Structure 1
Amino acid sequence: MTAQLLILDRDGVINQDSDDYIKSPDEWVPIPGSLEAIARLSHAGFRIAVATNQSGLARGLFGLETLNAIHRRLRDRVESEGGRIEMIAFCPHGPNDGCNCRKPRPGLLLEIAARFDVDLSAVPFIGDSLGDIQAARAAGARPWLVRTGKGEHTLECLHEQGQDAALCDILIYPDLNAAASALIENPDLL
């Protein structure tokens, strides 16, 4: 059996999000259970990729060297739990730059699909925002939502706007740990 690809958003799914941006490795704080979840998924045969908007680069809040250090810390911490992240794709642009890689556009997910040579139709993309949902749909992936990060706010906004139907095909979990358990215990979800 071929290993199944799983794509994760970073901020709000793997680590705590911040309206002030994650600007250093010291500010990168994993959400409880997320690193263990990635390790369990790795052991269950999933290949893990991360797709993350990093407009802090365009805003001059940190440089590429710092972002690489943050991602090195992420990978090291996941590896210390026995897991592996095979790819981190990031968008360095700001919201008004008009790129195709900034979520909600599909560019990051399509880059990951090309690297792994997979059709995204059976690939879950676990995120916490409306932009993550939209990017998954635009790329042909399967949007999943966690309530951590911006997840609760995303659900509230869709409900207040009367767009509950937008969630009809989305699996929603309290956090990445719960989503990982569901994936591992219920292969039919794919």
Structure 2
Amino acid sequence: MNGRPAPRPTAVDPAPVPWVFDGPAAPGRPAAPGRPAAPGRPAGLPEAVLFDRDGTLIADVPYNGDPERVAPLPTAREAVSAVRALGIPVGVVSNQSGVARGLLTRSQVEAVRARVEELFGPFAVWAVCPHGEQDGCGCRKPAPGLVHAACRRLGVRAARTVVIGDIAADLGAARAAGARGILVPNHRTRPEETAAARECAPHLLAAVRRALAGVPGEAR
């Protein structure tokens, strides 16, 4: 003992990392990166499709921790089902800075996640960033950490993964991770974000059809 008081515990995570949740069965998950396509699945299909949550799969309710306020967006359930039907794993990559702001708890984030899965069926993986802009994490979109974490958990290559979202941060995360990004604009998507996007679709089912078509294109 040197007589000095012990350091106080800090609430700041010295190495912020995303929360990663597995789906119950992780349907369609390949055993390891670089494996060939499953029998009967065309080789040109993506190895995984990752969806943003708010504004893409469900209505964007700021800092929502109430499962009763979860509402699927038009064509969203059909879009996810279309990917699953081909045996391709689906995942969610979502910024939830409300946790860092003290507006959400982990249990609320998990409750909303459970409600989403009640409505959509199980996702193979969820990768969630609970940090704020000042936390210095590598997972908050447009950083690539959520995409990388999801791909690692699924055992797929980022270069063969499609990320679909509604704002530039989603496409930025895809680009930084080496994945393909498709934008589905909505009322909060800025015109310059839409103009800068290489690939756009008018709704989620159209975005999935583009993703499953194989080669990226410039047409909107």
TM-score by length of 1: 0.83
Deviation readout 1:117-169 (Å, 9 max, x if unpaired): 22211211101111111111111111110023633x2xx1347xxxx4x43xx
* SS of 1:100 mapped into structure 2: coil
**What is the rounded CA distance, in whole Å, between the counterparts of 2:110 and 2:157 in structure 1?**
28
1:103 equivalent in structure 2: 141
Which has the higher Rg, Structure 1 or Structure 2? 2
1:5 equivalent in structure 2: 48
Pairs aligned (count): 174
* Gapped regions of structure 2 (runs ≥ 5): 1-36, 42-46
| Identical pairs, percent | 34
2:87 equivalent in structure 1: 45
Whether contact under 8 Å (1:12, 1:149) holds in the other structure is no
Question: Is 2:175 aligned against 1:175?
Answer: no
Q: Which amino acid aligns with 1:179?
A: A
| Structure with the bigger percentage of helix | 1
Please give the residue correspondences for 1:49-60 in structure 2 after superposition, counting only pairs within 5 Å: 49-60=91-102
Whether contact under 8 Å (1:17, 1:149) holds in the other structure is no
2:25 equivalent in structure 1: none
Question: Is 2:171 aligned against 1:133?
Answer: yes
Deviation readout 1:95-129 (Å, 9 max, x if unpaired): 21111111111111111121122221121110111
Alpha-carbon offset, residue 58 of structure 1:
1.0
**What is the rounded CA distance, in whole Å, between the counterparts of 2:107 and 2:82 in structure 1?**
29
Deviation readout 1:9-64 (Å, 9 max, x if unpaired): 1111101113x322211222110220121112101222101100001111111211
* Gapped regions of structure 1 (runs ≥ 5): none
TM-score by length of 2: 0.73
